[in-house]
Amino acid sequence: MKGIDYARELLRLARADHRAMTGMRDQEVFTDAIFGFHAQQAVEKGLKAWLSALEILFPLTHDISRLLPLLEQQGVEMMDLWEWVELTPFAVEHRYAWGDDAEAPLDRINLITRIHGLLEHIDDQIRRVYP
Q: What angle do CA 65, 70, 74 make, to 5 degrees?
A: 140
CATH architecture of 3-129: Up-down Bundle (1.20)
Q: Are 87 and 67 in contact (CB under 8 A)?
A: no
pLDDT tens for 51-80 read: 999 999 999 999 999 999 999 999 988 889
Q: What is the largest CA-CA distance in the chain?
A: 48
Annotated domain spans of the chain: 3-129
Question: What's the rounded Cα separation, in Å, for the pair 125 and 7?
Answer: 11
Whether this prediction's pTM lies above 0.85 is answered by: yes
Supply φ then ψ for residue 40, to 5 degrees: -60, -45
Amino acid at 43: V
Chain segment 75-122, per-residue pLDDT in tens: 988 889 999 999 999 998 876 765 555 578 999 999 999 999 999 999
Residue type, 97: A
